Structure 1
Amino acid sequence: MSVPMDTARKVADAVLYEGYLLYPYRASAAKNRLRWQFGVLVPPWYSATAEPSRSVTECLLERSANALVRLRLRFLHVKERRVEAAVPGGFRPVHELECDGTTHLTFDEATAREVETVLPMPHLFGTERTVVVRVPGDRSEEPIVSASGDTPGRVVTAHQPVRAVLRVAAERMPGPYGLVRLRVRLENVTEPVRAAATREQALRHSLVAAHLLLGVTSGNFLSLTDPPEWARAAAEGCRNENTWPVLVGEPGQRDVVLSSPIILYDHPDIAPESPGDLFDSTEIDEMLHLRTLTLTEEEKREARATDPRAAEIIQRAGDLPPELVERLHGAIRHLGTPATPAAPWWDPAADAGTSPDTDSVTVAGVEIARGSRVRLTPGRRRADAHDMFLAGKTARVEAVLLDVDGARYLAVTLDDDLGADLHRSHGRFLYFAPDEIEPLTGGELGEVSA
């Protein structure tokens, strides 16, 4: 069990620090002023932002009625970091303090917390087991000492106490293979604090990037993303709130699930080329590395002062050897001969069942095909203001098309468009649904060039 759990932990670490600090890694950057976006479980007494105070994980297992269930709760615990300057008789809070060329900033950090418990599956049927999680508060002071021995200030750090509960239950489901549904409710139950009026203050009493690693000693979890057909109805009945459970570990392993606050696929993995954490997983390592190198010396100085992890990124970007930078450019995972279709999927020729040049559609009892003339009557569902200038114009149908949803559309060129021949030669048309045109008949047709 420890090996799959350790493999899963690498992915869980990326989830833990997703969005922890965003490029350009400076406290003054606008996107780093509103922090902690993923997996935040605020205390129940804070409701100003409508962020949840609990998550619910439901997953399915087979042949696991006698298994041991290992639950590992992991989250970030926000740590207040306050810089104080020395003044006669004490200290006063300041935003920034420089000493011997080193800048000290007031900027919150976070500490990774991890709590693990093991529960026998038989003890979870027909009841709900409660696991209480208590993280005490603490406070520390570190003096800022200059080269001359003076103390111009200090850095005060503090954690506020956090209290949470895990409520775990299981039930046997109808069907083959001893199907079991496991439910885990994670709730922030931190006691009310009068001083926490802002989100920044409430976050110090929150579980940030909260997620669960669930493992079993026997049996297997089932994928909720792609369940076997016999368990599909049970999988669709699983209710997950503020979380997304996926299988983790090596492909084929099904004894560990990561209940993630962000959407993942089964068996996610960390690219081996990645040299280290960048905390901005929606971006590309190569791009973030190159961008970091372009920061000015003043920007790098502020980034180093912002957070120890940001300082590590700045240092790594400057020290990464060329051969490792080259690895970030891309990697070939599999070699093979790709199948080349006779025509690309978007080309009408790819579907032998359609023929835009000869297909037709009936409108108001009239068969409309290539060469038919119509009057345009754009409907209300049109969002482009330009369409009002097309209303009432006459046009020539160039093709009758079928989209991927099976709906018919008409490709047309305008009769009074001097560039119609050019558009026709390049396949540049206007597109209308059959209910957005009227057939032209009799004396309305006039003459039009083919």
Structure 2
Amino acid sequence: MTTTSPPAANARFAAARQVADAVLFEGYVLYPYRASAAKNRLRWQFGVLVPPVWGAAHHEHSFQRTELVMEPRGAATLAVELRFLHAQRRTVEEARGDGSFAAVPELHLPDRVLVPWDEGTEEHVKMTVSVAELAAGEVTLAFARPARTETEPVLGADGRERGRLVRRTERIDGVLRLRAEELDVPYRAFKLTAVVENTSSWTPEADGADRDAALPRSLVAAHLLLGLDSGSFLSMTDPPEWARAAIATCENRHTWPVLAGEPGCADVVLSSPIILEDHAAIAPESAGAMYDATEIDEILALRTAALTDREKREARGTDARAAAVIDLADSMPPEVLERLHGAVRALREITHPGPPDRPSAAPGLPGDEAVFKPDTPWWDPAHADPADPARDRILIDGTSVGAGSRVLLRPGLRRTDAQDLFLHGRTAQVEGVLHDVDGGVHLAVTVEGDPGADIRREQGRFLYFQPDEVTPLEDA
């Protein structure tokens, strides 16, 4: 076992590191990016591993457990990288005339307002171990980060010292435990178990100690990168049939492993405290980190650009990453902002191969068979898609329903638009039958007696109901 990662492992993790960084800084600082904002006063929500004594008393986690199945080849080695943030408490002190300093809630500078804040410094624990060693018994790596205090002078525009920032970091102790158990399956495969644990002996001096006292001694946004130099990991959500029973026995606590890196590769796993899908990726339109996944980048960029100068000064003084967001929003060209407006991601190239002597049929589409060009995506205009909403018909209670049919509306309670319930019992005319890519059927209708029906037809703006929400009437 070594406590460093070879260059090959670092290169292997490179493709996954962008998503891992998003996990590391998820919710780090939220819009409007100021320490004074209410939602920035309760921080560090994901992957926080607190000291055991604190966790037991306050029902927070002190460990993560990852289990997954891997297929190593030959004398494979496993590279592991534990990544987390170490919270350091920053206070602001103003310089006095006698050379002393005094703590202050704010220090005003021309370009920023400095305020107390908990910063997060990146920490990495790396190790490389052979699969054979893991199969022989548990491998343990203990690690520690010492307490320290650092000061940074704050200079004014004239070069004189206006104050200083004092950063205090508390000690963190932890352990990384790994083991592999060979499985009784048709192929050479192992169940890998990786446990990350905060082993700090810190005990609150008083029962009244709050979470803020525990955070500097916690592993924040903790997650693992796992890589095989030879072999592959199995997807937890889409394993091969022979491995499904083994996957079902895997127990993941406070984390979830997914295949990471480029699609088609299975030699890297990201075990994240945030549930992701296999091969998750950052949108290529994203111009930079916004640290706030609960809102759309476009909205955040527009809102950030609209902050007042006073608000921007405070955001810049809150954190270097918040300052970078402000600068990004202020300097974003219109063409970059326009790219954030939207992109279609679900349009995948789908072909439906059939027997050589007959064309393939589109799934979920009734009627004539579809003749698909080889390797032509279904959404391409060149695709010979026979769907025609104006002519397609479906059977409802034995009655053929299509454009021109009259139906009685019976909206179901499952509908999200409560206003549709007011249409219960109204009659409507079907304007078209539509099929979605999942095989679902939707009826486009106009309500009889609606004075705007002609406008709706002209603009193609209809109401939509599913077949089980209408009762056929006589055809028009």
Asked if Structure 1 and Structure 2 have the same fold, meaning a TM-score greater than 0.5 normalized by the shorter chain, the answer is yes
**What is the distance in 1 between the residues matched to 2:225 and 2:396?**
56
Larger radius of gyration: 1
| Letter aligned with residue 34 of structure 2 | R
**What is the distance in 1 between the residues matched to 2:291 and 2:8?**
25
Aligned to 2:168: 158
Kindly tell me: are residues 360 and 67 of structure 1, through their superposed partners in 2, closer, same or farther at Cα, counting changes over 3 Å?
closer
Aligned to 1:425: none
Instruction: Give how far 1:277 is off.
Output: 1.9
Instruction: Give how far 1:286 is off.
Output: 3.1
Instruction: Give how far 1:289 is off.
Output: 2.2
Aligned to 1:94: 104
Is 1:268 the counterpart of 2:280? The answer is: yes
Instruction: Give how far 1:118 is off.
Output: 1.3
Aligned to 1:437: none
| Letter aligned with residue 205 of structure 2 | R
Q: Is the 8 A contact 2:12 2:227 kept in 1?
A: no
Instruction: Give how far 1:328 is off.
Output: 4.7
Q: Is the 8 A contact 2:27 2:44 kept in 1?
A: yes
**What is the distance in 2 between the residues matched to 1:240 and 1:313?**
34
**What is the distance in 2 between the residues matched to 1:215 and 1:152?**
48
* Structure 1: stretches of 5+ with no match in the other structure: 342-349, 352-357, 363-379, 391-449
Aligned to 2:253: 241
**What is the distance in 1 between the residues matched to 2:276 and 2:63?**
20
Counterpart of 1:26 (choices 28, 34, 37) is: 34
Aligned to 2:116: 106
Partner of 2:93, secondary structure, is strand
Counterpart of 2:69 (choices 60, 69, 73) is: 60
Is 1:213 the counterpart of 2:235? The answer is: no
Instruction: Give how far 1:2 is off.
Output: 4.1
Aligned to 1:184: 194
Kindly tell me: are residues 340 and 308 of structure 1, through their superposed partners in 2, closer, same or farther at Cα, counting changes over 3 Å?
closer
Q: Is the 8 A contact 1:137 1:158 kept in 2?
A: yes
| Letter aligned with residue 48 of structure 2 | V
Kindly tell me: are residues 148 and 115 of structure 1, through their superposed partners in 2, closer, same or farther at Cα, counting changes over 3 Å?
same
Is 1:278 the counterpart of 2:287? The answer is: no
Instruction: Give how far 1:142 is off.
Output: 2.9
Q: Deviations over 1:38-64 (max 9, x none)?
A: 111111123565321111111111134
Is 1:82 the counterpart of 2:91? The answer is: yes
- The TM-score, its normalising length taken from structure 2, stands at 0.69
Is 1:140 the counterpart of 2:150? The answer is: yes
**Greater mean alpha carbon deviation, residues 20-29 or residues 190-199:** 190-199
**What is the distance in 2 between the residues matched to 1:293 and 1:273?**
18
Instruction: Give how far 1:16 is off.
Output: 0.9
Q: Is the 8 A contact 1:63 1:177 kept in 2?
A: no
Number of residue-to-residue matches in the alignment: 431
Is 1:35 the counterpart of 2:43? The answer is: yes
After TM superposition, the structure 1 = structure 2 runs for residues 267-416 of structure 1, keeping only pairs within 5 Å, are: 267-320=279-332, 322=333, 325-330=334-339
**What is the distance in 2 between the residues matched to 1:385 and 1:293?**
36
Aligned to 2:237: 225
Partner of 2:55, secondary structure, is coil
Q: Deviations over 1:144-180 (max 9, x none)?
A: 4446676554321111111111111110001122011
Instruction: Give how far 1:6 is off.
Output: 4.0
Q: Is the 8 A contact 2:24 2:221 kept in 1?
A: yes
**Greater mean alpha carbon deviation, residues 116-125 or residues 106-115:** 116-125
Kindly tell me: are residues 56 and 65 of structure 1, through their superposed partners in 2, closer, same or farther at Cα, counting changes over 3 Å?
farther
Kindly tell me: are residues 153 and 240 of structure 1, through their superposed partners in 2, closer, same or farther at Cα, counting changes over 3 Å?
same
Partner of 1:274, secondary structure, is coil
| Letter aligned with residue 128 of structure 1 | E
Instruction: Give how far 1:359 is off.
Output: 11
Q: Is the 8 A contact 1:24 1:292 kept in 2?
A: yes
Partner of 2:173, secondary structure, is strand
Instruction: Give how far 1:228 is off.
Output: 1.4
Identical aligned residues as a percent = 49
**What is the distance in 2 between the residues matched to 1:383 and 1:279?**
30
**Greater mean alpha carbon deviation, residues 266-275 or residues 163-172:** 266-275
Instruction: Give how far 1:360 is off.
Output: 11
Q: Is the 8 A contact 1:5 1:249 kept in 2?
A: no
**What is the distance in 1 between the residues matched to 2:10 and 2:228?**
10
Q: Is the 8 A contact 2:9 2:229 kept in 1?
A: no
**What is the distance in 1 between the residues matched to 2:78 and 2:176?**
13
Computed over aligned residues only, the root mean square deviation of the Cα atoms, in angstroms, reads 4.9
| Letter aligned with residue 131 of structure 1 | L
| Letter aligned with residue 59 of structure 2 | A
Partner of 2:338, secondary structure, is coil
